[in-house]
Chain A
Amino acid sequence: MKKILKSREFLVLALLVAMILAVSTVNAAVLRPLTLINIVNSSLFLVLIAIGQMFVVMTRGIDVSVGAIAGLSAVIFGMALNAGIPLPLAMVCALLTGLVCGSVNAAGIVFVGIPPIIMTLGTLGAYRGLMRVLTGGSWIESIPQSIKTLAVTRYMSVPLMVWAVAALIIVLAILLSRIKAVRNFYAVGDNREGAYLLGINVRATEFTAYALAGLFSGAAAIVFTGQIGFVPMQTGSGQELKAIAAVVLGGVSLMGGTGTIWSAVIGALFLTTVDSMMIFLKVPGSWNNAVAGAVLLAIVVFDYLIRRAVRNRQLAMRAAEMHHAEQDHDTRLQPREAVR
C-alpha cells in the first residue's frame, strides 16, 4: 500500500484529481459525471497508443511512428469497411496492419541494428506517405453505420468503447502481472547485456515490444474511426509525441526497465484532461500545447529533483556511517597505543 502511494503513477493521479477539483471551483460543470465520462471517452485513442508505446519504452526503445501506424490502420480499416467487408473482419484487417507495420520497425531495429529513433522516424514518413498514396490524399468518408453505432452505444450512460477498453486494460494488467515472460521487458530495458547473459531472448523481447506498439496503434485506429465516423489524412498526426509524453508523464523512464500499464493509462488520461480543463477555464484552445509541454517538463524535472534528493540523502547516510566507523576505529586504536 505504501508502495502504491509513493509511486509516480499515484502522484500523477493525485495531480489529476487536484486539477479537476481546482477547476471545479471556477466552473462546477467539470464535476458532472457526463463531463468526466466524455473526457475518458475522448482519451481512448491516446490511451491505446500509449499502452503500445509503453512496451517499447520499457525495453529502452522509442517508437515515433505509432501515430502514423494508427493513421495507416485507420485508412485500411475504412477502405475495408467501404469494400463491404464485415465489421469483425475489417477490425482484424486494421489490427493486422498495425502488427505488420510494427514488425517492420522491429525488423529494422532488431535484425539490422538501426537506432530506434532513426528507424521509426523513417517509417513515420513512409507510413504517412503510404496513407496518402492509398487514398490519393482524400478523406475516407461514407463509412458504414455499423461502426458508428458501436461508438454511440452506451451502457449505464458509459460508451461501449470505454467499457471495452477498460476491460482490455484490466485483463492486460492481470496478464502482465501473471505472465513470467513479461519480466523480460523489464530485464532487457534495465540491462540488455545482463538479460542476454541470463539467457533471455533479447531479440524476441524487443521484436515483441515494437510489434505490440503496432498492434495497439491498430486498435486505436478502430476506436478513432468509430468515434469520428470518417478518416481524415491527419489521423494520428502528432499523436506519437503525445504518446511518448503520456508514458513518460506516467513514470516510464526512457532509460528503460520501469513502468506499468497504469503509467500509460494515467499519463494519457492526464494529457487529455489538461486539454478539456482549458475549455472549462475558457482559455483559448491555442494554449493547449503550451500547457501540455509545460506540465511534461515540470513533471520530469520535479522527478529528477526528487531522485537527486533521495540519492543525496542515501550518500549522506553512507558518509555518516563511514565517519562513525572511522571514529570507532580511532578510539579502539588509542588504548592500544597507550598500552604500548
Chain B
Amino acid sequence: MKAAAVFKSWEFMLAVVLVLELLVLGMINPAFLNIENLLFSTSDFAHVIIAAIGLTLIIMTGGIDISGVSIMGLASIVLGLAFIAGVPIGFAVIIALGVGIAAGAFNGAVVANTDVNPLIVTLATLFLYAGIATGLPTLLDMLGFQAYGAGGFEAYQYEGITGLPKAFTWIGSGRIGWVPMPLVVALLLAAVATWVMLFTRFGRYLKLIGVSPAVAHFTGVPIKRTLVTVYAMNGFAVAIAGLVLTAYLGSARSDLGSEALLSIITAVVLGGSSIYGGQGSVIGTLLAGFVLGFMRQGLLALGISSDVVPVIIGLLLVGSVALRIGLAKLSTARANRAAFAAEQMAVEGNGGRS
C-alpha cells in the first residue's frame, strides 16, 4: 500500500481517533494516561475484542453470527461444570473450546446448506445455546451425575461456579511483563486472524464469498467448507472470549457476556467492516475495540453514569456508518464531477476542431 493510501485508510483514521481520545481523556483526568492503568483496564473489554475478531471473519463473507454471546456463556458454564465434576482443568478448557467450535460449526453447517438468512439461523441458536447453557446444570442432575455439595448441579444454574484453580484464573488476571493476559490473548488472536485474512487462500475465499457468492461459486471456491470453517473459527474465538472473561471474573456463569452483543457488532462495524460482506479488516476491528473500550472506561472515570454508555455506543455505531456513507457519497460526487469536467474538455476540444 502506498503511503498516501495508508493515511487515507479507515484504520489510520481509527488510530488517530484512538490517540485523540486518549489525549482528551488524559487532559480531563491526567490519572487516566498512566500506562499501567491503561493496559490493565483492557482486561475489562478484551473479551469484546476477541469475539469481534471472530465476527469480523464471518461478516467478511456477508454473513453474521449473533449467537456468539450465547456460546460465551455456554463455554463458561461447560468449563465450570466439568471442573466441578472433577475433570482436570486443562481438559475442562479443551472440552469448553470443543463445545464452542461445535456450536459455531453447527451454525455454519445450517447457513451453508440452506438458504435461510444467517441472522435467523443464529437468532435461533442464540436462544438454543443460551437455553442449553441455563438448562445444563438441571440436565446433569436429571442424568444422575454427582456433584460435590448438597444442592447438586442445579445450585449453579444462576449463581456462578467459583473456586477455579489459579492455573486457570491466571489467563484472566495474570500478566506477561506489563501486559495483562486477556490483552495478550486478544493480540495473539488478532495476529493470527490478520495472517489468515492476508496470507492464506482461505482468507481470499472469505473475501470473495463476501463480494459475490455467485462468482465465488463459479471460480471453484469450496463455499460450504469455507463457511462451516469460518463459523467454527468464530465459535472457537467466542469460546476463548468466554473463558478469558470467566478467568478474569473468577466465576463461571451461563449468562456471561450476554450484554456484549451491541459492543461486539459496534466494534466490527466501527472497524470498517461492511455488513454486506467483502470489506473490512481485523486491524480495524482491533482498533475500534480499543476506541470503544477506552471510551467506556474514560466516561466511567469521568463520573458519567454507566446508563449513558450504551446511548453513546449506539450513537457511535450509527454515526460511524453514516459518516462512511457520507464519505462514499462525497467521493462518488467528486469522481462524477471530475469525469464530467473531462468529458466537457473533450467535447470542447472536438468542437474547436470541427
CB atoms of B120 and A300 under 8 A apart? yes
Pick the contact of B127 from A112, A122, A245, A248 — CB < 8 Å? A245
State whether A130 touches B311 (Cβ < 8 A).
yes
Residues from chain B with a CB closer than 8 A to the CB of A245 are: 123-124, 127
Q: Is the CB of A126 within 8 A of B110?
A: no
Q: Residues of B contacting A124 with CB < 8 Å?
A: 262, 314
B130 in contact (CB, < 8 A): yes
A288 near B: Cβ within 8 Å?
yes
Contacts of B310 in A (CB 8 A): 125-126, 128-129
**Is the beta-carbon distance between A132 and B307 smaller than 8 angstroms?**
yes
Q: Are B311 and A115 in contact (CB under 8 A)?
A: no
User: Judging by beta carbons under 8 Å apart, are A118 and B321 in contact?
Assistant: yes
| Interface status of A315 (Cβ within 8 A of chain B) | no
Which listed residue, B119, B132, B276, touches A62 by the CB 8 Å rule? B119
Asked if A175 is at the interface of the complex by the 8 Å CB criterion, the answer is: no
Give the docked Cα–Cα distance between A202 and B331 (Å).
25
Interface residue from A115, A290, A293, A296 paired with B275 (Cβ < 8 Å):
A115
**Which residues of B lie under 8 Å from residue A254 when comparing CB positions?**
117, 119-120
**Across the two chains, which residue of chain B brings its CB closest to A137?**
B307
Residue A96 CB within 8 A of the other chain: no
Tell me if B176 counts as interface (CB < 8 A to partner A).
no
The yes or no answer to B116 lying at the interface (CB within 8 A) is yes
Chain B residues closer than 8 Å to A293, beta-carbon distance: 124-131
Closest B-chain residue to A284, C-beta based? B138
A306 to B284, CA, bound (A): 41
A286 within 8 A of B: yes
Query: Is the contact region of chain B dominated by helix, strand, or loop, or is it mixed?
Result: helix
CB distance from B224 to the nearest CB of A (A): 15
Query: Within the complex, what minimum Cβ distance (angstroms) separates A210 from chain B?
Result: 14
Complex Cα–Cα for A286 and B254 (A): 11
Tell me which of B110, B157, B266, B313 contacts A297 (CB under 8 A): B110
| A115-135 interface with B by 8 A CB criterion | 115, 117-119, 121-126, 128-130, 132-133
Given contacts A114-B325, A289-B128, A300-B120, contact A133 B135 (CB under 8 A): no
* Cβ-defined contact, B114 with A301, below 8 A: yes
- Residue ID in chain B nearest A289 by CB atoms: B131
Q: Which of A122, A128, A130, A292 contacts B317 (CB 8 A)?
A: A122
Q: Is the CB of B124 within 8 A of A296?
A: yes
Q: Is the CB of A129 within 8 A of B307?
A: yes
Given known pairs A114-B322, A133-B305, A290-B127, the reply for A255 and B110 (CB within 8 Å) is no
Which residue on chain A has the smallest CB distance to residue B129? Answer: A293
Q: CA separation between A244 and B124, bound complex, in Å?
A: 10
**Any A CB within 8 A of the CB of B309:** yes
CB distance from A217 to the nearest CB of B (A): 17
Interface residues of A in 126-170 (CB under 8 A from B): 126, 128-130, 132-133, 137
Rounded to whole Å, the gap between the CB of B204 and the closest CB of chain A is 25
B121 neighbours in A (Cβ, 8 Å): 297, 300
Q: Do B125 and A301 touch across chains, with their CB atoms under 8 A apart? A: no
Contacts A108-B322, A114-B322 given; indicate if A125 touches B313 (C-beta within 8 A).
Answer: yes
Q: Chain A, 278-311, contact with B by CB distance < 8 Å: what is the 0/1 string?
A: 0000001011111111101100110010000000
Could you list 16 A-B pairs, sorted by A, with CB under 8 Å? A114-B318, A115-B275, A115-B276, A117-B275, A121-B262, A121-B314, A125-B317, A132-B305, A133-B308, A254-B117, A284-B138, A286-B137, A286-B157, A289-B134, A293-B131, A296-B127
- The 10 A-B residue pairs with the shortest CB-CB distance, nearest first, are A290-B131, A293-B127, A293-B128, A125-B314, A289-B131, A129-B311, A132-B307, A122-B318, A126-B314, A125-B310
Q: Which A residues lie at the B interface, using CB under 8 A?
A: 62, 108, 112-115, 117-119, 121-126, 128-130, 132-133, 137, 241, 244-245, 248, 254-255, 284, 286-294, 296-297, 300-301, 304
> A126-B315, A255-B117 are known contacts; what are 4 more A-B pairs with Cβ within 8 Å?
A118-B265, A129-B307, A132-B307, A133-B308
